[in-house]
């Protein structure tokens, strides 16, 4: 019973940490949860590994983040968690963009968008597209970046996600 409660607590906190920008605290929580992650089912591992991956991305530990995002994607496939699979692929895309591996990012993004379209959730599709839109930002392709961010603003508006719409608006600015 305690394992299930710990998984739910940490899985829920992954969004709190991200939205609130509490990355240092998140790293500490996930570091202490290594044994918990290993003791979980593939489905629970997926959720926790995705949380760990995004936490490490924000902590600029890109290699470690990629390791956990790849593990999350593999666990998601095994457990049939389509949303978590799309998310893990989106994080991998973001990491490849940040590391300057644009061809890898585009291939992973295409896979992530395909996976997210089956979910019929504009939020996840938008998140997947946001990651690849950053390749235009980093490569200083201003027109493409502005077009991509404008489309994302509309997508997040349709998803009724104010947080991500504001984020896309800031990127457009």
**Rounded mean pLDDT of 59-81?**
94
pLDDT (average), residues 85-101: 91
Is residue 1's pLDDT more than 70?
Answer: no
pTM of the model: 0.84
The count of C-alpha atoms lying within 13 angstroms of the C-alpha of 67, restricted to the half-sphere facing its C-beta, is: 5
What is the structure's pLDDT at 78?
95
Going from the C-alpha of 24 to that of each of 153, 157, 170, the distances in angstroms are 29, 30, 23
Q: What's the rounded mean pLDDT across residues 150-164?
A: 87
Quote the pLDDT of residue 134. 83
């Amino acid at each position: 019973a305690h394992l299930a409660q710990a998984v739910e607590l940490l899985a829920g906190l992954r969004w709190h940490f991200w939205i609130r920008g509490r990355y240092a605290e998140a790293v500490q929580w996930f570091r202490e949860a290594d044994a918990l992650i290993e003791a979980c089912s593939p489905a629970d591992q997926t959720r926790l590994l995705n949380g760990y991956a995004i936490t490490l991305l924000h902590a600029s530990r890109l290699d470690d983040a990629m390791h956990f995002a790849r593990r999350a994607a593999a666990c998601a496939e095994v457990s049939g968690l389509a949303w978590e699979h799309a998310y893990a692929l989106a994080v991998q895309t973001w990491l490849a963009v940040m590391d300057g591996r644009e061809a890898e990012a585009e291939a992973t993004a295409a896979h992530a968008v395909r996976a997210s379209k089956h979910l019929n959730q504009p939020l996840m599709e938008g998140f997947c597209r946001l990651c690849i839109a950053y390749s235009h930002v980093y490569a200083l392709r201003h027109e493409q970046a502005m077009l991509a961010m404008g489309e994302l603003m509309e997508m997040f508006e349709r998803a009724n996600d104010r947080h991500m719409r504001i984020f896309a608006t800031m990127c457009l600015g």
